[in-house]
Structures are given as structure tokens and as C-alpha cells.
Amino acid sequence: MRVEDQGDHGKSKRNRVVEKAGLNDVLLKDPRFQAPDLETKKAILVGLGLTDSKAYGPQSFDAIMTTQSSVVIRAQNTHEFLHDIVLVEMKTTKKPIKDSSLAGFFFGATQREYDLAAKLGDKFRFAFVVLNSNNIYNKPFAVLLTLQELEIRTRSKRIQYQVNLWSKNDAKDKVIKCLTIV
């Protein structure tokens, strides 16, 4: 039986499932968190003066947090809450992380996320969500860190390129001869 290689797409799909579990099972249980829709995310970025979508896009954060529970924040009412909104980028794992020190937590982040965190300072948090209950709390938990707090805890980081090749339809004259071994 031949198995089709899913490449990164299978991994990305699994990561989205884990992230969704982190959002629904941990963060959204706290009434200060919301998962805004795409239009609301865009409105928040514009309201914060971040209009360069190439530098700061709505994919650069997953949720928002306010200091207290609030009505659902939508594109139409973001202006009422901008002073209180903190953008939250989730990093989620199913691995057994012992406690809030997050020792052994490995994650990937984009330059865009780091740039947005640097630009917004205290109005941006990385949420490290641990779905595994094998920890001192005996249940899933999350730790929120600013970029500055994250940098203090970072042992090492490296640059990794994510590369997408042209699809057959898009490639047309971009494909050159190559050595193919079958």
C-alpha cells in the first residue's frame, strides 16, 4: 500500500487542531479571552495604527484578551475597547510541561510575530498553552509572556525558512530541467 506524503500540510493541519484545542479548552474558558473573526482582527490592527498588512497581518495573532470580561468585540465596536485589548499569539503543545517555568517547551514563531510583539510591547502576549495534565496543576494550563519576558527565558533560537514551491498550474515557465531519480 502506497502512502501519499503529506509534506508539511499534514503537520500544519495537526498543529491547527492542537491550537484550536488550546483556544477552546484553556484560553476561552477564561472570560477575558475572545477569538475574533478576520474582520475584527483587521479592525483591531487598523485601530492600533498597524495598517501595513505586509508587516502586520491578522494571522499574527490568534486571540485577544481584555482586563475584564466584556461584550463580544466585533469590527464595529473595536474603537470602544482598543485601550484594553491585548493581542495574543498562541503556542500550544500536548507535551508534558511540568509548570509555569515552561522548561522544555519548544515552539516555532514567525518574524512577523516577533516584530508585532516588539511594536506593541505590553499590548501583545505569547500564550504558551500546555494541553497535557501531567504537571503540578494536574490539568491543562497557559502562561502569558510579553516579548521581553520571553526573551529572558529563551535559551536559544535559530532562523528556519518555510519554503513553498510553485504548484503545477502556477509554475508554467518557472520550472527548469532537473535531475529526477525514480
Alpha carbon 29 to its chain centroid, in Å, reads: 18
pLDDT of 56 > 80? The answer is yes
Span 67-105, pLDDT tens digits: 999 999 999 999 999 999 999 999 999 999 999 999 999
| Mean of pLDDT values over 32-38 | 97
Q: Which pLDDT belongs to residue 4?
A: 42
Q: Which pLDDT belongs to residue 174?
A: 66
- Residue in 110, 145, 99, 107 with CA at minimum distance from that of residue 126: 145
How much is the pTM? Answer: 0.83
Q: Which pLDDT belongs to residue 10?
A: 55
Span 169-179, pLDDT tens digits: 776 666 667 78
Q: Which pLDDT belongs to residue 2?
A: 40
d(CA 117, CA 115): 5
d(CA 102, CA 143): 8
Give me the long-range contacts of 35-39 (CB less than 8 A, separation at least 24).
35/62, 35/63, 36/63, 36/64, 36/73, 36/74, 37/74, 37/75, 39/74, 39/75
Q: What is the arrangement of strands in the sheet containing 124-130, beginning at the earlier edge strand?
A: 33-34, 63-65, 86-93, 124-130, 141-145
Span 138-165, pLDDT tens digits: 999 999 999 999 999 999 988 888 787 8
